[in-house]
Chain A
């Protein structure tokens, strides 16, 4: 073997390979494969009985649930070993730190809730396929990779794993035009943005000579930033902005959210956003920390646009999934404010808010999901939600709670989250942005209240919805309700946890 190769072997040896950081993802992968295969080998079929029809159930959903639960356990295990075992692994391809672990938890929680909610749904809408659960798990695995990624390549492949999975999930109800149309739009725009993201990576690579986040930070720490680097940063912003749906890169999300099966929409609104934001924040808070003065103005504008457009556009929506899509755009704006604050406080607020946001959004989608009937999802606020409060008091109460939480009314998680973000913004002197945030959230009150108004104050004009709440979904909703209230009334520990998790973010090698 030639000496040069020897040299390369040393230069590119794998440093610190270990199972611990990738364990959750590994578990998910494992169970994902199992979910796909077991049924085939056991029963030779991967389609479970639809709602109302008899037939031996398939195992995939339960395997998926177990897998997610185990993965969550693993995350907990990671959290315990964080102190000693923190740091980069696999030559820095992944980094195990509080930030990543916290968000892994959020992602898996979102996945878990999605699964709980989706089982009844997918039977009702006849997409009760093993592949469905397989894809959810794989996408979740991709998210975990993104969350922990310490290298642009890892981020990229993780992102793709997640995205491709979600593209397919979006179009999973392929017998429905909207589902497919959603998939098409998501895919075209997704691939398009991938192109830019990739080119951004290329430029950054060119400027910094490496894909390693830490390495890049060291390389670019010496100002002034080269124009190539700036162009790269710009394109990376674009890539992330697309994934988390910031204006003007948001246009796909309303259509996709509306078209996708409700549980998938929820999954997108929470999991995908979390993963996207995780990478976004990690890259900008740590790697491009030194360039803050360059990227903050841009993000400032994006945040302002996002909050305004998201909230304003949501006002006239009647389809609740679409409304929630715009609302999640708006919330992306709020989260961005936390990033703009560019402080540990901001990052902590960001973590806390993501947790709160995941709970309340999942909850809201949970209600949307159980509202559905065979063949229709009943998503019209004015028609389907009118007066349900008096037929399904608990369901309506839960929905109202989530709506108020999304509005930011105490004592809910949403309020404390907003409080934290506002604190960070004000503390960093971004008072105008803070004011814009609260003003837009007043606008948001209008459309969130519309749901409550419809549920409690309008009388139903259609035949009553025969929505029975599957046990699993009930559990999911219960978790969401308890979470939203818990985080709202006793936020202490959570805020602490978020704070603690932050400390490690900047602790990249």
Chain B
């Protein structure tokens, strides 16, 4: 059948973009690049859409396309192909990646126009490369290829964070991102090794179906495989304890933050866990860990987000927090819900970042909220779109965030984790609070910037505002693909589109999730409505609190800060985690390395062993030449000594 033969196009198009921009970038100039760069991604989106329709047209069971491009590695028993798999799950991600990606590419064309030709081409090369890698990640039909994309996106994030490498800090941030990710990948690799050892293959088609039969539920193998894989996810998706790189990653250009560090790459972990659900179902313990870490991260990040003053930092922590939600979702085996939130989050978080970008753009790089304010009039488009996104993330119905977040909370409750639910709820409140803090500080109140900044205030060009608008719309309606039964029935049987779409992928899940999903179709327990109400209430509460604190009584936060100095300090210093890692990991390692070099290498091996031998030989040499006194009596005496020695050996020995 034909559709499958076109699969390779999806990643190939961005790759083509990479080659063109990378090799000819300087030749074709900014104009050419800003056509090619977004163009290829848009094209990829179209192909992805075609594939989606192709799938949609099929029976739920038949909704998988796959294409093997070539055999990549075949050595001994090990075998891995460069092969792509398009099924309901991956196609969703493909659409997000290409779609949101396309918008952000377009936006970037405007945002980066100040770069010189070289930088501009470089930027789009990286961005296309990222899209390519991300597509490989989501389309891979085996774990190794997935890992290729996995590291590929990591590389691009490294390159793009350090895009303005002239400032060492940016480069350092990029390095940090890469290395922390590597720590996660280390786990991922071990997971793959163990998986290969267990299943003799790393292809989804071999591993996932046979998981239930090969692995014993709750057995050590399942536990370790899943745990190792999850370590990878933790690194990539910036969860506790490996989240530290993401805030620093904000050093990159804002569109990059939007694409990589909000919409797509960081959600790869969620995708991977969802993709491996068959394994995770065998390891409930790990699922619990996932959920726990997710919830903890959500709350933890939210608290930090509360006090950050850098607009992008706030968004970064909010991203971490939202990712926590997603893990909470998949952690309670509500994979579809997790993916759903992934999608909606992609919409509104991308939008938030782009909006922030537009603000920063307008103020020539000002990111400190304490010097913003009252931009409402100056940046109308940005304002309204941001408002939509903020409401969405705050979880105000009927915006995108509401449905997905609520789905997760409800599933958490339903799966019998009231504690996790409570944490989620609290986080929801905090989210609303700090997001509106950001919103108010940025757009309302007096302008706190410099005079000449005020002069140059201007709305961004259409290349930037149009994507904003589109994403704004998506943030408004994006959630409607996942209307929960509770409301769906009220509205007259609107189905939970995404859930049923993903159903074939997660069908074999026999955890709490689906059982509910199935029976949820007809009978909705009253508790669900209560929960809905609760979360909405919390969200509104958060918004009101924000309004009171940062619009009505702007001096109040400072006073609170003075009142509770210690907690405030802890928060604004992000719980001193960076300092902690530096103290217990980085410094000791460097010291140990220095020791290995100076003491073991130079001192012990070279100095003592090698040098020592040499010294002994030289010393012996001195001794023997001391005997060689040059005086005949000595010589004859030694001679005679030899004679007597031999004679004695013969006649007395």
Contacts and interface: CB of A to CB of B under 8 A. Distances in A.
B617 A312 contact: yes
A254 interface: yes
A238 B617 contact: no
Interface of B: 617-618, 620-622, 624-625, 627-628, 630, 632, 634-636, 638-639, 641-643, 646-647, 649-651
B642 A230 contact: no
Given A196-B643, A248-B642, A249-B642, A312 B650 contact: no
Contacts of B649: 234, 297-298
A230 B651 contact: yes
Nearest to B649: A298
Contact of A249 (B622, B627, B639, B651): B639
A69 interface: no
A282 B3 CA distance: 93
Contact of B639 (A193, A255, A312): A193
A280 B241 CA distance: 81
Given A185-B632, A189-B636, A316 B643 contact: no
Contacts of A241: 642
A133 interface: no
Contacts, number: 72
Contacts of B650: 227, 230-231, 233-234, 294, 298
B621 A231 contact: no
A312 B636 contact: no
A244 to B, nearest CB: 14
B628 A251 contact: yes
Interface string A222-248: 000001001101110110011000001
A313 B647 contact: no
Given A230-B650, A294-B650, A189 B635 contact: yes
Contacts of B621: 312-313, 315-316
A86 B651 CA distance: 38
A496 to B, nearest CB: 37
A313 B628 contact: yes
Contact of A251 (B639, B646, B651): B639
A252 interface: yes
Contact of B646 (A188, A237, A312): A237
Contacts of B646: 234, 237-238, 298
Interface string A20-48: 00000000000000000000000000000
A251 B636 CA distance: 9
A248 B620 contact: no
10 contacts: A185-B632, A188-B636, A189-B639, A234-B643, A241-B642, A251-B627, A298-B650, A315-B621, A316-B618, A443-B617
Interface residues of A, number: 32
Nearest to B620: A312
Given A238-B642, A248-B638, 13 more contacts: A184-B632, A193-B639, A227-B650, A231-B651, A237-B646, A242-B639, A251-B638, A251-B639, A252-B635, A313-B624, A313-B625, A315-B617, A316-B625
Interface in A258-312: 294, 297-298, 309, 312
B135 to A, nearest CB: 57
Q: Nearest 8 CB-CB pairs, A to B?
A: A248-B642, A313-B624, A251-B635, A230-B650, A234-B646, A315-B621, A316-B621, A312-B620
A77 interface: no
A490 interface: no
A192 interface: yes
Interface of A is mostly: helix
Contacts of B617: 312, 315, 443
Given A188-B632, A313-B628, A316-B621, A248 B639 contact: yes
Contacts of B627: 251
A241 B618 CA distance: 26
A308 B4 CA distance: 77
Interface in A184-233: 184-185, 188-189, 192-193, 196, 227, 230-231, 233
Contacts of A237: 646
A248 B641 contact: yes
Nearest to A310: B624
Contacts of A255: 628, 630
Contacts of A297: 649
A227 B638 contact: no
B72 to A, nearest CB: 44
Contacts of B639: 189, 192-193, 242, 248-249, 251
Given A192-B636, A227-B651, A234-B650, A309 B624 contact: yes
A312 B621 CA distance: 5
A331 B632 CA distance: 24
Q: Tell me which of A184, A227, A252, A313 has the highest count of chain B C-beta atoms within 10 A of its own C-beta.
A: A313
A294 to B, nearest CB: 7
Contacts of B643: 196, 234-235, 238
Nearest to A443: B617
Nearest to A239: B643
B635 A185 contact: yes
A182 to B, nearest CB: 11
Contacts of A193: 639
A238 B646 CA distance: 9
B634 A251 contact: yes
Contacts of A189: 632, 635-636, 639
Nearest to A298: B646
A489 to B, nearest CB: 32
A312 B647 contact: no
**Interface core residue of B622, B630, B635, B649 (most chain A CB under 10 Å):** B635
Contacts of B625: 313, 316
Contacts of A238: 642-643, 646
Interface string A399-419: 000000000000000000000
Contacts of B630: 255
B648 to A, nearest CB: 9
A298 B643 CA distance: 11
Contact of A231 (B622, B632, B647): B647
A496 B639 CA distance: 38
B618 A315 contact: yes
A241 B640 CA distance: 12
Contacts of B622: 316
Contacts of A251: 627-628, 634-635, 638-639
B625 to A, nearest CB: 6
A116 to B, nearest CB: 32
B8 to A, nearest CB: 55
A193 B632 CA distance: 13
